[in-house]
Amino acid sequence: MAPAKQADEDMIHCRLDELLEQRGMTLTELSREVGVTLANLSVLKNDRARAIRFSTLAAICRVLECEVGDLLVVD
C-alpha cells in the first residue's frame, strides 16, 4: 500500500480567475462586492493563501453564484 500524501504535497487550487472570466467580472468588482481588499483576493487568486475565513468564502460564493467546490479544488 502506498503511503498517504503529506499535507504539503496536496495543492489547493483557487479557480477565481476562471470563475471571474466566466461571469465577465473583474477582481476589482469582486473586491467591492465582497468587501475584501484587492490585495487579499489577489493572494487567493494566485494560490498563495494559507487560510481563508468562512465568511469570506461564503461571500465570494454568493457573489459569484457558485459552490465552494467550484472555487477551490485539490490538484
* Residue 41 C-beta-side C-alpha neighbours within 13 Å: 20
pLDDT attached to residue 54: 97
How far is 13 from 57, CA to CA, in rounded Å?
14
Amino acid making up residue 59: A
Q: What is the pLDDT along the chain (75 residues), one digit of tens a residue?
A: 554 555 555 799 999 999 999 999 999 999 999 999 999 999 999 999 999 999 999 999 999 999 999 999 998
pLDDT attached to residue 6: 53
pLDDT attached to residue 48: 95
Q: What is the total residue count of the chain?
A: 75
pLDDT attached to residue 75: 87
pLDDT attached to residue 7: 55
Q: Which domains does the chain have, with CATH numbers?
A: 11-74 (1.10.260.40)
- Residue listed under C-alpha cell 465568511: 55
Contacts of 57 (CB under 8 A, 6+ apart): 68, 71, 72
